[in-house]
Amino acid sequence: MTQESKHHATAAAILPLVGGAGNVTSVAHCMTRLRLGLHDGSLVQEERLKALPAVLGVVEDDTYQIVLGPGTVARVTPEFQALVQAGRSGPAASGRRPDAVTAEALAVRGAALRADRKTRNATPFKLVLRRIADIFVPLIPALIGCGIIAGLNGLLVNLRWLPAVTPALAAVAAGFMALIAVFVGYNTAKEFGGTPILGGAVASVIVYAGVAEVEAFGQDLSPGQGGVLGALGAAWLGVRVEKWCRRRVPEAVDVLVTPTITVLVAGLTTLFGLMFLAGEVSALIGEAADWLLSHGGAGAGFLLGGIFLPLVMLGLHQALIPIHTTLIEGAGFTVLLPILAMAGAGQVGAAIAIYCRLSRNTSIRTTVRSALWPGVLGVGEPLIYGVSLPLGRPFITACAGGAFGGAFVGLFNQLGTDVGSTAIGPSGWALFPLLDGNHGLGRTVAVYAAGLIAGYAAGFLATYYLGFTRAMLTELNTEPASPAAGAAGAGDRGAERI
């Protein structure tokens, strides 16, 4: 038996003895122990677990810790993670047919559409995008918190209030962004199956002040050059080097040799290659965004605002996350997010139109009322999957509303008023505290608010006049019958509308 198959066999033997993949909530390891988060500790078969040849002991703490020894644990953990992931995957769908054209029927259709999109999005390219998104998504709370503090500090500075406090607020707001590369490196290594702290160590080279004394490609490097893209590439390279070492370095010296080679090889490659190249790419992204909005203006905004929700449906929106982060790191805000947020405004306008057009369908109107305020605050899924997407045409007209809102904001960008966000994640009204621009907060807020109004109005008008055929209105604009009545054909008719 090869070493690789031996470690796979060890992982496969451990998994059922800790309750199976469904009982595992988290997987990590330290120098000697496999650390597991478990739903139900009573499912662990401890005596059988201790009897496994590779298990040196177990420790119950905040996590369930299985002692495997240095070297071995680093090789068994990836195998165990792969088995857990494989055990959790698998189709889970409901076969229940909708009974009537009610909010419940739309919810069933929406869930089916969501599951279908998820299945179609499981292509290698989209899975890579999803993994990249999973690196950045955990950073969003810190980006939001620091962004709001930065906005508050800017307001205080402009008003000349609390001059003794504003430097401290600036430090609090800027500290995370100064070290964001380290967090990206940590998450990258974790996502791609390496040791997270080694990913952070490699990425920390990028923000170290001493890199200013290093020359690459005939130029002196600068701290932070390459930013999050460089950190992502550096940590990914570190994972490849670490895995290469794990397969070849003897277990007895693995704990000494593998981390050293990983940090050395990936660190030097980062200094003499990745930092420069990633810095050039980051600069190009910033220039491209500026060029797009300064030259494309309303046209670019119309396109971005209109296609964002279809991009979300296809899973391609995840490619924008590192672009947003790069723009925030370089300019202090991303000019793309406020335009993309107009897609949600179109959904809100469309929902109001649906509410007005289907005046007799109390079930759908109740759903619209409950989902509308989350939509206004930027949480669009209840409206998308509960109302507009299952109906079909209203989803398209909602996208048209987002396109007009995006065109409005894009036009002002072309005229020289940048409307940006200091963080990613929020949308709708929730984006107001994060707004920033090049002409003061007042003008930035006014343009964004007017864009939302334009998106609401366009989404409403497009949906009210173009979102329903006569046949759809005949079917939908009625008081839903009892659940047992009129069930046949509801699902098929919903598919035809789309």
Question: Would you please indicate which residues are annotated as catalytic (active-site) residues?
Answer: 30
Contact 288, 300 (CB under 8 A): no
Tell me the C-alpha distance between 23 and 43, whole Å: 8
Q: Which residues contact 406 (CB under 8 A, 6 or more apart)?
A: 301, 302, 303, 304, 305, 306, 308, 339, 340, 342, 343, 451, 455
Contact 326, 288 (CB under 8 A): no
Q: Which two tokens stand for residue 393?
A: 């045409």
Residue 474 half-sphere exposure, CB side, CA atoms within 13 Å?
4
Spatial CA neighbour of 273 closest among 337, 326, 230: 230
Contact 428, 378 (CB under 8 A): yes
Residue that is written with structure tokens 């179609």 in the block: 120
Residue 225 has a CB neighbour count (10 Å cut-off) of 22
Tell me the C-alpha distance between 171 and 146, whole Å: 10
Could you give the residue ranges of the DSSP H alpha helices within 208-331?
Answer: 227-248, 251-269, 275-291, 298-314, 320-331
Contact 461, 403 (CB under 8 A): no
Residue that is written with structure tokens 């988060």 in the block: 37
Looking at this protein, which amino acid is placed at residue 389? L
Tell me the C-alpha distance between 97 and 497, whole Å: 17
Cα-based torsion angle of the residue sequence 258, 259, 264, 270 in order, rounded to the nearest 10 degrees: 110
Contact 336, 453 (CB under 8 A): no
Per DSSP, the three-state class of 480 is: coil
